[in-house]
Chain A
Amino acid sequence: MALEINALFVAGIVLALALRFILAGTRWGLVVRTVGDNADAARALGYSLRGVRTLATMAGGFLAGVGGSFLSLYYPGTWNEGLSSGQGLMAIALVIFARWNPIHCFWVSLLFGAATALGPALQSIGYTSNYYLFNAAPYVLTLGLLVWSSSPRHALLGAPSELTISK
Chain B
Amino acid sequence: MSEPTPPLVDVRGMTKRFGALTALDDVSLRLAPSAFHAILGENGAGKSTLVKCMMGYHRPDAGHVLVDGQEHHVGGPRDAHRLGFGMVYQHFTLVPSMTVAENLVLGKDDLPAVIRWDVERESMRAFLSRMPFRVDLDRTVGALAAGEKQKIEILKQLFLGRRVLILDEPTSVLTPDEADQVLGVLGEMSRDGRVTVVLITHKFREVEAFAREVTVLRAGRRIGGGAVTDLTRADLVAAPPVFPSRRRARRWRHRRRCSAWRASRCSTTGA
A-B residue pairs, 5 tightest by C-beta: A41-B93, A44-B93, A27-B111, A37-B95, A38-B95
Docked-complex contact B78 and A41, CB < 8 angstroms: no
> When chains A and B are docked, how far (Å) is the Cα of A38 from the Cα of B87?
17
Q: Dominant SS at the B interface?
A: loop
**Nearest CB on A from B167, distance (A):** 14
Give residues of chain B (100-117) contacting chain A, Cβ–Cβ below 8 Å.
102, 105-107, 111-115, 117
Known: A34-B106, A45-B106. A28 touches B113 (CB 8 A): yes
Contact flags A126-166 to B (C-beta < 8 A → 1, else 0): 00000000000000000000000000000000111100000
Contact flags B214-253 to A (C-beta < 8 A → 1, else 0): 0000000000000000000000000000000000000000
B interface vs A, CB < 8 Å?
A: 76-78, 87, 89, 91-98, 102, 105-107, 111-115, 117
Docked-complex contact B78 and A46, CB < 8 angstroms: yes
Point out the residues of chain B lying under 8 angstroms from A160, CB to CB.
97
Give residues of chain A (33-85) contacting chain B, Cβ–Cβ below 8 Å.
33-34, 37-38, 40-41, 44-46
Docked-complex contact B94 and A41, CB < 8 angstroms: yes
A26 located at the interface, meaning its Cβ lies under 8 Å from any Cβ of chain B in the complex? yes
Point out the residues of chain A lying under 8 angstroms from B107, CB to CB.
45
27 A-B residue pairings within 8 Å (CB atoms) = A25-B115, A27-B111, A27-B112, A27-B115, A30-B105, A30-B115, A33-B97, A37-B95, A37-B96, A37-B98, A38-B93, A38-B94, A38-B95, A40-B89, A40-B91, A40-B93, A41-B93, A41-B95, A41-B106, A44-B77, A44-B87, A45-B93, A45-B107, A46-B76, A158-B97, A160-B97, A161-B96
Point out the residues of chain B lying under 8 angstroms from A30, CB to CB.
98, 102, 105-106, 111, 115
Docked-complex contact A33 and B112, CB < 8 angstroms: no
Point out the residues of chain B lying under 8 angstroms from A41, CB to CB.
92-95, 106
Docked-complex contact A161 and B97, CB < 8 angstroms: yes
Point out the residues of chain B lying under 8 angstroms from A44, CB to CB.
77, 87, 89, 93
Chain A, interface residues (CB within 8 Å), range: 10 to 19
Smallest CB-CB separation from B105: which chain A residue? A30
**Nearest CB on A from B15, distance (A):** 25
**Can you name 6 extra interface pairs (CB under 8 A) apart from A37-B98, A40-B89?**
A25-B117, A28-B113, A30-B98, A44-B93, A45-B107, A46-B76
Docked-complex contact B98 and A33, CB < 8 angstroms: yes
**Nearest CB on A from B248, distance (A):** 35
> When chains A and B are docked, how far (Å) is the Cα of A15 from the Cα of B45?
53
**Nearest CB on A from B79, distance (A):** 11
Point out the residues of chain A lying under 8 angstroms from B115, CB to CB.
25-27, 30
**Nearest CB on B from A163, distance (A):** 11
Q: Among the interface residues B76, B95, B98, which one has the most CB atoms of the partner chain A within 10 A?
A: B95
**Nearest CB on B from A82, distance (A):** 36
> When chains A and B are docked, how far (Å) is the Cα of A41 from the Cα of B102?
13
> When chains A and B are docked, how far (Å) is the Cα of A30 from the Cα of B113?
10
Give residues of chain A (8-42) contacting chain B, Cβ–Cβ below 8 Å.
25-28, 30, 33-34, 37-38, 40-41
Point out the residues of chain A lying under 8 angstroms from B95, CB to CB.
33-34, 37-38, 41
> When chains A and B are docked, how far (Å) is the Cα of A160 from the Cα of B95?
10
**Nearest CB on A from B135, distance (A):** 18
